[in-house]
Structure 1
């Protein structure tokens, strides 16, 4: 009996370290502050998005400029000799002045690359390069160009041209493309291309535009 009692070792269970510490509790004031900060940030972002949307739909909305052909003046006639056919052809140069109205709160600056094509009854008969310039915001400007009309291209429909001249008026079309930059509020700059397609009637007796109709558009 004594040996069995002596061989029995006492058992002892050590207390768990995790059970002795209470679970951490969250500070309700800190969580409330985080929620308030999150709501304020979301409100500011929403207000900023609404403001930008209103600006782009109103102030920053790009409207099409309008063009009007003001005057046409004969600058000169240049003969051209072609080989080997040894034929003489005439090129007529017209000085055109186009008035442009910019209704946008953004200036439009254009460098090189502006171009105008002249067509007569569907045939391309002349072209012109447009010099660099600037149209102010909500302002007016003038575009001057020297348009060269190649008489040999008119010869393909010479009979109709003679009939139009005898009637006193010649109907033509001018298509213009002007690439440039739009500056909004002096800060934002975007590339833009202004297009203008005009149909006009040229009076032979007065050597001026008698009537015209233009369709203008801008592509950003």
Structure 2
């Protein structure tokens, strides 16, 4: 009889827990949901910030045009005698130009030198330069500039005496320029130039200005 062969027992089978796969899938799903939540929060926060910034830019931070105004002009050193001659009181004629600049912005408007020129029949007969300055937020700054008149340029016109004797008025016009910039929180900065042209009539007898009409222009 043959001896029975030795039967080598089989290795015990490794049984994986049935719960491993479901747990892994749940963790992955949980991480995915967290990422989606974080991304959604970032997008919503970004949209809110963009909306707030745009609202501020178009409301509080929007740069508005400064408003320039001619308050009045006075004349010194000019008089009439017989109505056909012009007499100079002293050797100088000057005009005091009263100009105001209103700043409607929520930040200061800093301006450089202010210039005012007086023209008679297209010729510059007077010039003035004002110092730089600052108009605070929602404030109005007022400037009085003395314009020295170049008498010789008036007297070069042969029709000057006839014009004055006929109406008693001397028609001139002025050009005022104020250039500066508005800067809000160091972020929004805009350069602004305010210009104003005024036509006026100088009443020789009264040494006063009448019939003043001004037009404004803004360069941004």
Task: Please tell me the TM-score bracket, short chain as reference.
Answer: 0.5 to 0.7
Shift of the alpha carbon at 1:212?
1.9
- Is residue 130 of structure 2 the alignment partner of residue 130 of structure 1? yes
CA distance, structure 2, for counterparts of residue 219 and residue 170 of structure 1: 31
Deviations 1:83-127 (A, max 9, x none): xxxxxxx6533222223333333322224x321222122222221
Aligned-partner Cα distance in 1 for 2:213–2:46:
46
Match among 65, 68, 75 for residue 66 of structure 1: 68
Partner in structure 2 of residue 173 of structure 1: 173
Equivalents in 2 of 1:186, 1:163: separation in Å?
58
The equivalent of 2:161 in structure 1 is: 162
Worse-superposed segment, 185-194 or 129-138 = 185-194
Aligned CA distance change for structure 1 residues 39 and 216 (closer, same or farther; 3 Å): farther
Alignment partner, residue 114 of structure 1: 114
Following the alignment from structure 2 to structure 1, what is the Cα–Cα distance between the partners of residues 51 and 77?
Answer: 54
C-alpha contact 2:126 2:147 (8 A) present in aligned 1: yes
- The answer to whether residue 73 in structure 2 is matched with residue 54 in structure 1 is no
Identify, as 1 or 2, the structure richer in strand: 1
Q: Which runs of 5+ in 1 are unaligned?
A: 1-21, 77-89
Match of residue 81 from structure 1? none
CA–CA separation in structure 2 for the residues paired with 1:75 and 1:27: 93
Q: Distance in 2 between matches of 1:75 and 1:168?
A: 16
- What is the CA-CA distance between 1:34 and the residue it aligns to? 2.6
* TM-score (ref. length: structure 1): 0.67
Contact 2:98 2:145 in 1 (8 A): yes
8 A Cα contact 1:110 1:134, kept in partner: yes
**Once superposed, which parts of structure 1, at least 4 consecutive aligned residues long, lie more than 6 Å away?**
none
| 1:62, distance to aligned residue in structure 2 (A) | 0.9
1:149 matches 2:149: yes
CA apart distance, 1:178: 1.8
Q: TM-score, normalised by structure 2?
A: 0.67
- CA RMSD across the alignment: 3.1
Q: Deviations 1:176-210 (Å, cap 9, x if unpaired)?
A: 22222324369855443222222223222322221
Structure 2, unaligned stretches of length 5 or more? 1-20, 79-90
Inter-CA distance 158–40: structure 2 relative to 1 (3 Å threshold)? farther
- Measure, in 1, the Cα distance between the counterparts of 2:76 and 2:185: 40
Of the structure 1 ranges 46-55 and 185-194, higher mean CA displacement relative to structure 2 is found in 185-194
